[in-house]
Amino acid sequence: MADTRHDKPAGAMHGVIAAIATAVDPRGEPDCARSIALARFLLANGCDGLNVLGTTGEATSFSLEQRRRVMSAYADSGLPLDRMMVGTGAAALADAIALTRHAAELGFAAALVLPPFYYKGVPDDGLLAGIDAILAATAARPISVYLYHFPAQSGVPWHVALIRRLLEKFGERIVGLKDSSGDMAYAREAAGIAPRFRVFPSTEAALPEARSGLFAGCISATANLNADLCARGYHAGDAGALAEAVAIRKLFDGKPLVPGVKALLAHIHGDPQWARVEPPLADFPAAHRAAIIAGYEAVRAKRVA
């Protein structure tokens, strides 16, 4: 299915985007080879794009140097960076600037920027000043910016009124929003700010509204596991495939999502190393693991039948 958004600025992405997991080696370092192998698999099996080093990618559990190393490994892999946005948000403004500049120099399509997240209840003027500094620091090599709205984790929201101010002040450098709030009313309000402002809810369930043109697609943790089903739902309007994709997502309700996704990746790819997470996350409990594997296999068996 073609992207129905009328205005496509630089860095515009669309469709099924996996918030790709980052493999971790036994020393607690990012395992770039495994991560890139997964990226290659996802792009070949339904993903229109990838969100590298987001929440599912455990970005804020890695150091500045580790994050740069992961980004550089993607750039060296030959994978299409024009289909990838990379998380560059950080608590320290200087770190966010350094990461965003590195993403721009490497050629990623866009940067996904969390608000600085240590201080809570900060004024919109402070958040605007932070974005101003990031954009000024990357003016020589501009990179499109998506705002990352995840108040349950960051504690700092991107208010709709502030988004309007950012678009008025910075124009086309602010391309869109990843909304991980779960508040669909907020996502719809944000999508209505401007035709060119591209909103990605974090659930596959939003794909019918993406097909209608309201959203640009979805950026989902569970697209690591069900990208083929999501693609059938989005591109072909296959309601059954989409229902199965959503059923896989619902397997994680009430369970820790990132360790769960990695545990199921380990099962799907026959590679126990994928189950490893970076502290402070902890391994997925064995009882949960058995339940999600059984549920996943049941959904897949239904499709085969």
State the catalytic residues.
Answer: 55, 118, 148, 178
Residue 198 half-sphere exposure toward CB, CA atoms < 13 A: 27
What are the residues facing 284 on neighbouring strands?
Answer: none
Q: Which amino acid is at 73?
A: A
What are the residues facing 86 on neighbouring strands?
Answer: 52, 111
With residues binned 3-state (H G I as helix, E B as strand, rest as coil), the percentages for the chain, rounded to 5, are 50, 15, 35
Residue 268 to residue 265: CA distance in whole angstroms: 5
Residue 213 to residue 235: CA distance in whole angstroms: 12
Residue 45 to residue 210: CA distance in whole angstroms: 20
Chain centroid to CA 11: how far?
Answer: 14
Q: Can you say whether residue 149 is alpha, beta or left, with left for phi > 0 and alpha for psi between -120 and 50 degrees? A: beta
The two three-digit tokens of residue 84, written as one number:
């990838």
Residue 12 to residue 196: CA distance in whole angstroms: 9
Q: Which residues have C-beta within 8 Å of that of residue 287, sequence separation ≥ 6?
A: none
